[in-house]
A and B are shown apart, each in its own frame.
Chain A
Amino acid sequence: MNTMQTALGKLHLASPVTVASGTFDLENFNFIAQDCLGAFVCKTITRHPKVGNPPPRLFESEAGLINSIGLQNPGLDKFVSEYLPRLRDTLKIPLIVSLSGTSIAEFVEIMQTLETQEGISGYELNVSCPNVENEGIAFGVHPDIVYKLCSALSPLTRRELIIKLSPNVTDIASIAKAAEAGGADSLALINTVYGMAIDYKTGKSLIKQGIGGYSGIGIKPIALALTYKACQAVKIPVLAMGGIYTWQDALEFFWAGASMIALGTANFIDPTAAQKLYDGLNTHLQEHNLQLTDIIGKCVV
């Protein structure tokens, strides 16, 4: 048996490593082989095209990255007509489509359209983007809305239904439970943490929109704690992310209960990071004669 095999709900995957939405695209396969990834998660799509937020959109802080992209994307129609065929032609690994909407009806509409398309193994509902006001995070911070959204969408598909949660909430456990009760197959967490940077000389915000989403190595302890908390609260599997750079980081998240992990900002730091993580994790498990399933959720507290 391959020591690296894992399951995320309905998906049986050859690698427990994937990529965070918006941090990885087909260009990255110039740098790494596809088979180190268990799945490919695309950048979030919305019903209508989104031009995104005004620049500056990025600032590298002491221990991570603040972004304010604003879900720039070509919209559902162009995704289906142009981008999805390219993904289908290129990918040898399962495709998970990240999507977001301004209302439950819009999520339903997007998913119904995607259901008519082949080559998609799962959906990741982005209800946690901190950079758009009326979609994304407005949904992800209320357990009752998360429940309603998952209840509306889960009967529509036999594909893996993942909901990506925000760390910017009072109680992740109640939101995780609401998602599980609503019929989500798995959870992804965390999306970025609210972050800000100011030029100390001029007092000017270094991100045009003021507050952005903070990612990277600095958020790892936060992500680990929320992963642990969510895994304690629900039975459905968790895809964990937040500051994961190395195979050692990944192992911490598996101990905490994650069934799969994703690299986000690490892909920008090193386009070969996913390959290095996969190789390092594989070597470690083999050297210690371990299956991944031996350690998932076995953290000692």
Chain B
Amino acid sequence: MNHNPERREIAIYSREELCGDYFILWIWDDELSKISNPGQFFEIRAHSSLHDAWDSQRIPKLFKPISVYDNSGGRIGFFIKNVGPGTSALARLKAGDTLELIGPLGNGFPIVKGRRVLFLSGGIGYPPLSYLQKELINHNLIFWSHGGASSADVFPCDEVWTVDGSFGKQGMVTEGMADLLLSKKIDLVYSCGPGSMLKQAAQIAAAHGIEHYTSMEAYMACGIGVCHGCAVPVGTDEDWTYLRVCKEGPVFNAADVLWSEL
């Protein structure tokens, strides 16, 4: 069930450096841990109070939607890539600094049993699948294929693709997808990554008649369903509408997304 999101200020427990521009912020919160599920996200921000904005002359910025990377026993991890002004403010945070959060938000991945599952991730699409893997691994067979621009965008999985060929197979992660569906007798796909990759993955899964859930990313202002900024077209060519990544998503049945409009 979905809980009403709350706004909290929580001290960062620790910070972990990864390769390239990637890092992890860890927090402890028993209550948030209990109500968070794989595929859900938080709006997070380096603490900047509006109360101080006038005095400090600092311009407060929007929260950034970051999915849950890990969640067990009260410890929650946010696996982040430093890509712009919002995430670089997060990148400057260290243990003990205050993180502002709203969440958990959105609808997570469906949890299944007894399936042959393919995980397909691209770049910073990796973290939500990592959390999902921990939930599914005891009751399903999982094969994980991950792609990145270069060896700096690669994380632990079963098969790696890089665009520049610096690690694993050279090419886009979707290039190996059709073969994997057949060789691993896959009956369910979970994906997360750039829009172009998800669109390709959706076409391949649909061509093989395989169920596919995809976690979409979008620019957000509010994260709570109010601003309608994070629109994804859902429906058929004749009858479609824009749904919200933050409210109806971020996980969608890929067959419902109108990829031609994206």
Binding site for B on A (CB under 8 A): 22-25, 27-28, 30-31, 43, 51-52, 54-60, 62-63, 65, 67, 69, 72, 217, 245-246, 248-249, 265-273, 276, 280
Contact = CB atoms under 8 A, between A and B. Distances in A.
A30 B5 CA distance: 7
A165 B7 CA distance: 33
A60 B231 CA distance: 16
B8 to A, nearest CB: 11
Interface in B86-119: 86, 102
B10 to A, nearest CB: 16
Given A51-B241, A58-B221, A269 B61 contact: yes
A272 B233 CA distance: 30
Given A23-B222, A55-B230, A273-B50, 14 more contacts: A30-B5, A43-B228, A54-B233, A54-B261, A55-B242, A60-B62, A62-B59, A69-B227, A69-B228, A217-B59, A217-B60, A246-B51, A271-B222, A276-B51
Contact of B50 (A25, A59, A65, A276): A276
A55 B231 contact: yes
A22 B54 contact: no
A7 B195 CA distance: 49
Contacts of A267: 222, 226
A28 B224 contact: yes
Contact of A23 (B227, B233, B261): B227
B170 to A, nearest CB: 24
Q: Which 7 A-B pairs have the closest CB atoms?
A: A58-B229, A268-B221, A58-B219, A248-B54, A25-B226, A246-B54, A30-B4
B34 to A, nearest CB: 18
Interface residues of B, number: 36
B229 A57 contact: yes
B220 interface: yes
Given A54-B261, A60-B86, A268-B221, A28 B231 contact: no
A226 B222 CA distance: 27
A266 B61 CA distance: 9
Interface in B199-236: 218-222, 224-233
Contacts of A272: 7
Contacts of A62: 59
8 contacts: A52-B228, A54-B261, A55-B242, A57-B228, A60-B61, A62-B59, A67-B221, A67-B227
Q: Name the residue in B50, B85, B86, B232 with the highest tally of chain A Cβ atoms < 10 Å from its Cβ.
A: B50
A65 B61 CA distance: 9
Interface in B164-189: none
A79 B46 CA distance: 38
Contacts of A269: 50, 60-62
B229 A271 contact: no
Contacts of B62: 60, 65, 268-269
Nearest to B5: A30
B53 interface: yes
A84 B4 CA distance: 22
Interface string B33-63: 0000000000000000111011000011110
